[in-house]
Amino acid sequence: MSDPPARLLALLSLLQTPREWPGSELAQRLEVSPRTVRRDIDRLRELGYPVQATMGAAGGYRLIAGKAMPPLLLDDEEAVAIAVGLRMAAGQPVDGMEEASVRALAKLEQVLPARLRQRVGALGAATVSMTAAGGPSVDPQNLAVLAWTAANRERLRFDYQANDGSRSSRLVEPYRLVAGGRRWYLLAYDNDRDDWRIFRVDRLSGPRPTGVRVAPREPPEPDAAAFVTRKIYSIVPTYEVRATLRLPAEEVIRRLGADPGDVRPVDGHSCELRGHADTLEWLAARLLMLGCEFEVHEPPELLAYLRAVGGRAVRAAAVPRGPEIVVGDR
């Protein structure tokens, strides 16, 4: 390889494989002399890549962990595998990883060649996961577009279906994506309505970047997640719950996946749960599925719902059964 920049990229790609490379093997792969390999290794070190050399018959060169992550060089198959994995993670978020997955996906898909974007899209469309039904499904590609336009302060158009079923076309300046448990929300400045708006991502379709860059606007609050949470709870009926659970606090956190700040230990065998939910049915089901004794202090609506459910359960258990049928030898 006579082109030094191309040779450096090829060398860096080889070194990113988790193994040690003897200088002779690198020279053979790159079709250069061992002396050229040593010069190229020195050049990579000057550029900030931490290349370690070990001596001896089993020695060689390898890339070690440094203070900063160097740019990754991926072949086609590696790029497709990572993009598909990120799409799956974005569509089925894991606690603490949702936003990072979307940001990484947005960056990767911007640099993928067209042929690879088509492969990623085809694989994503043909792949489904065996997961329990939770919130509405969200297209990871839409998340990637929203994340990219928000990061680049670019205006965006999309079609939106409101809660009443009406549809409209929106022109917005995306600010932040907020993962809200079972749903994703977009906080954006609506240019047509001259105000900040919150959009459910599962209800928007056909996001189209306009290519128009805009100056950053002052957000309604520094904490986008707190702003979205407060606005949603102000328009959606919610129930504040306070209950004593006969279960250790750490076990309640594990079983419910609750925020540790919502669970306060009372003693080694019980705790107090405080939180909120948008439906009594969901809240009652979560409490009953804990499999422990509990006492609800509020809200009164939850107490009434549990009494009604308990009455139905008692009546169902009291239904007389028919004669038992014994299967066996005659």
Q: Measure the CA–CA gap between 194 and 171, rounded to whole angstroms.
A: 10
Output the pLDDT for position 132. Answer: 43
Residues constituting the chain: 330
Tell me the three-class secondary structure of the chain, residue by residue: CCCHHHHHHHHHHHHCCCCCECHHHHHHHHCCCHHHHHHHHHHHHHCCCCEEEECCCCCEEEECCCCCCCCCCCCHHHHHHHHHHHHHHHHCCCCCCHHHHHHHHHHHHHHCCHHHHHHHHHHHHHCCCCCCCCCCCCCHHHHHHHHHHHHCCEEEEEEEECCCCCEEEEEEEEEEEEEECCEEEEEEEECCCCEEEEEEHHHEEEEEEEEEECCCCCCCCCCHHHHHHHHHHHHCCCEEEEEEECCCHHHHHHHHCCCHHHEEEEECCEEEEEEEECCHHHHHHHHHCCCCCEEEEECHHHHHHHHHHHHHHHHHHCCCCCCCCCCCCC
Peptide bond preceding 265: is omega within 30 degrees of 0, i.e. cis? no
Output the pLDDT for position 210. Answer: 93
Structural tokens at position 238: 């919610």
Output the pLDDT for position 133. Answer: 45
pLDDT tens track, the chain, 330 positions: 567 888 888 888 888 776 788 999 999 999 999 999 999 999 988 888 888 888 766 568 988 866 555 666 677 777 788 777 777 666 655 445 566 677 777 777 776 777 777 777 777 666 655 544 445 667 777 888 898 899 888 999 999 998 888 999 999 999 998 877 567 899 999 999 999 999 999 899 999 999 898 988 999 998 988 898 888 777 666 788 899 999 999 998 888 877 777 899 999 899 999 887 777 888 888 889 888 999 999 989 999 999 999 988 888 887 666 665 555 554
Output the pLDDT for position 1. Answer: 57
Output the pLDDT for position 129. Answer: 58
pTM of the shown model:
0.50
Q: Is 203 exposed, middle or buried (0-12, 13-18, 19+ CB in 10 A)?
A: middle
Output the pLDDT for position 59. Answer: 67
Output the pLDDT for position 54. Answer: 83
